[in-house]
Amino acid sequence: MCLICDRIDMIRRGENPCFVRELETGYVVLGDHQRFYGYTLFLYKHHQDKTELFHLAPAERARFLEEMTLVAQAVSRAFHAEKMNYELLGMGDGHLHWHLFPRRAGDIGPHGNGGKGPVWWYPMEKMYSDEYRPSAGERAEMKQKLQAELDRVFGPDTAGANRS
C-alpha cells in the first residue's frame, strides 16, 4: 500500500487531522508542513494502476482537473496567494495527487534562481522542519478558512462535513 492510500484510509476512518473535504474525484487535505502557508493537496480517490492523467477515462479526467482547479481557487482566496503553483509529480508515490502551493514574492528567500523558482528549490530540511507543523489550533483555523472558500465554489459540504 502507498502512503497516500494510507492517508485516504485514515480519512475514511475519521482519523486524518489534515482532511478538509471530500469531492467527487478526490480528497482535499492540508499539507503536514506549512512553510508555504496554505499548502494543500488534492488526492485522487483511486489508485490501482492509474498513475498518469492519461490513464483516466476522459470524463473522469475532466472532472478531476475541474475539481483541482476549483480547489486551487479556494486555496488562493483562503490564504491570499499572489500566485498558485500546481504540481502533479509522483516519483515518490505514483498515486495521483496535486500539490497546490500558494506563492508570494520572496517566499524562497535567496534560494533558487535569485529567489525565483519552484518551492522544491527551498532547502528540504527547512521546508519539512517541525517548526512548520501547525498546532491543532492553527490547523483548525486553516481548515475553517479553506472550508469557507470551498463552500463558495462547490456549495455547502454535505458528504464529508465535520468528519475529522
Q: Which residues bind Zn ion (CB under 5 A)?
A: 2, 4-5, 47, 95
CB of 101 to Zn ion, least distance (A): 21
Residue 122, CA distances (Å) to 108, 110, 111, 144 in order: 5, 9, 6, 28
- For Zn ion, the closer of residues 92 and 114 by Cβ is 92
Taking the least distance from each CB to Zn ion, the nearer of 2 and 65 is 2
Smallest gap from residue 146 Cβ to Zn ion (A)? 23
Question: What is the C-alpha to C-alpha distance for residues 124 and 143, in angstroms, rounded to an integer?
Answer: 24
Residue 56 vs 81, nearer CB to Zn ion? 56
For Zn ion, the closer of residues 6 and 138 by Cβ is: 6
CB of 95 to Zn ion, least distance (A): 3
Q: How far is the CB of 93 from Zn ion (least distance, A)?
A: 6
DSSP annotation string for 110-154 = T-TBTTBS-GGGS-HHHHTSGGGSPPHHHHHHHHHHHHHHHHHHH
**Beta strand pairing call for 83-88 and 40-44:** unpaired
